[in-house]
Structure 1
Amino acid sequence: MDPIVEVVALVLGFLGWVMVGVALPNRYWRTSTVDGNVITTSTIYENLWMSCATDSTGVHNCREFPSLLALSGYIQASRALMITSIILGTFGLVAALIGLQCSKAGGEDYVLKGRIAGTAGVLFILQGLCTMVSVSWYAFNITQDFFNPLHLGTRYEIGEGLYIGWCSAILAIAGGACLTCSCKMGTQEPTKYHMPYQSRGTAYSGAALSRSAGASTYGRNAYV
């Protein structure tokens, strides 16, 4: 596998891991604007941890969710998936740094380094899947409530935090796929081709001639 591809995969995985860390505390997972006059227009935005509101004067207030058990099930699941995604990405980065061919951390056993790189790729893919499921599930509930005519609460729209999460998932899955392809699971050595030996002279069978007989024969062939 080309080491350049492995380095690109590491960069993609690292960017995906960083963007997960940016998306998780982002306050704009869902937003809603309450229209009114210049004074009463306000914006409400929430994420997995708190709910905030700001008005046209720039004053904003945030309130953390008081109880974990009182939250909706999808919010609890999204929290768990995002935290799991960060953990998987951390282990994936460590394994990728060891498994790269250009890295000296894992020694000179390139078969073992290939397996470690493949494991890092799997971890990156799992990170991307956890992030994708989390943000997609959260976005599904937003759209479901928004288009539900019987919903009497606040109608939210998709915020920038979800878009960051989707980008993170795509980068992590792409980097993980590249690293997984670089995995050398086998210990197969290059095929050795054995060329048949062909003698340039005539092959004789039988007992070897004695030195004297060989000498006499040589002399007779040479001078007769």
Structure 2
Amino acid sequence: MPDPCVLALGLVSGCAGWLFNMIATGAPSWRTVQGVPGAAEGTVIHQGIWDMCVEVPGSDLVCPHQEPDYFAEGVVKAARGLMVTSVVVTGGALVSAFLGVRCWRPSPDLLLAGLSGVAVFCGGIFSIIPVAWFTSELKSIKASGTDLRVGYCVVMGFIASAFQFIGGACLMTCWYDFSKKRKRAAQARAHPRDPPRSETCAPDRTCRVTAAVALGDIEPRSSSSRLRESVCTEQRD
């Protein structure tokens, strides 16, 4: 059976990665744009993959703010699909992981928990690809300002991917125990052990019990035990 602490770490890390991934997907702060020509000093544009907001000093945050050229970028479109895929895959994998670990039962479902770990790990891959791609293309994506900086959603995306990798790896350790269990079962089938000896004879044999102690041929081993000799002969047709 795998270590319960490892399974707990896998579930907690997977849930944390999924939560951070959802925030990174929906929040409009993948990139911040400052130094916008014609805007008030200190104006900041927060750009996400679904929405965009403008923060003006002394006023409330204005959403949405439309910039068609930004949303037409290929990296933004790819980030939408990959991040949503990561959220869906990781969420489904966590449900399967909880059913596989089965904290309410003595032993977990090793195969289901291991497959859930693979899905959580794949969810981390789906999220780190758009985050890393967006970061590499940060300066080349069209912007209305000159000062471009990474938003907090990119940072949370990297953290979410790291948690998903850790959680997936911890859950995949169930496969090690699953393989050992299968190997032991295969060895047991290939080399069956002799059945344990019983005090009674098999059904196809007849027993004749002689009291050797009573005859005085053998001394008793202890006062509390009696020595009996069972002689079994096979029945012949």
TM-score of the pair, normalised by structure 1: 0.72
- Mapped to 2, the partners of 1:40 and 1:117 lie a distance apart of 54
Hey, what does 1:178 align to over in structure 2? 170
Residue 137 of structure 1 pairs with residue 138 of structure 2: no
1:52-71 correspondence runs (5 A): 52-63=53-64, 71=72
Using the TM superposition, give the Cα deviation of residue 41 of structure 1 relative to its aligned residue in structure 2, in angstroms: 2.6
Trace 1:146-161 onto structure 2 (pairs within 5 A).
153-155=144-146, 156-161=148-153
The correspondence for 2:122, drawn from 117, 122, 126, is: 126
Q: Deviations over 1:89-130 (max 9, x none)?
A: 1111111111115343xxx775xx111011110011011111
Cα offsets for 1:31-50 (capped at 9, x unmatched): 022279x9533111100012
Unaligned runs of 5+ in 1: 146-150, 196-210, 212-217, 219-224
Seen in structure 2, the aligned counterparts of structure 1 residues 92 and 65 have a Cα distance that, compared at 3 Å, is farther
Q: Where does structure 2 lack aligned partners over 5 or more consecutive residues?
A: 195-209, 211-216, 218-237
Look up the equivalent residue of 2:151 and give its one-letter code: G
What is residue 205 of structure 1 aligned with on the other side?
A: none
Moved over 4 A (4+): 64-68, 190-195
- Backbone CA RMSD of aligned residues: 3.3
Shift of 1:84: 0.3
Percent identical: 23
TM-score by length of 2: 0.68
Following superposition, the deviation at residue 78 of structure 1 comes to 0.3
Distance 1:152 1:5 in 2: 45
Q: 1:117 aligns with which of 113, 123, 126?
A: 113
Q: In 1, Cα distance between the equivalents of 2:83 and 2:143?
A: 29
Q: What is aligned with 2:156?
A: 164
- Alpha-carbon shift at residue 181 of structure 1 (Å): 1.5
Aligned to 2:184: 189
- Cα distance between partner residues in 2 of 1:152 and 1:84: 27
**What number of residue pairs does the alignment pair up?**
187
CA contact (8 A) 1:3 1:102 kept: no
Q: In structure 2, how many angstroms separate the alpha carbons of the residues matched to 1:103 and 1:142?
A: 47
Please state how far the C-alpha of 1:9 moved relative to its aligned partner.
0.6
1:188: how far off? 2.3
The 3-state SS of whatever aligns with 1:28 is coil
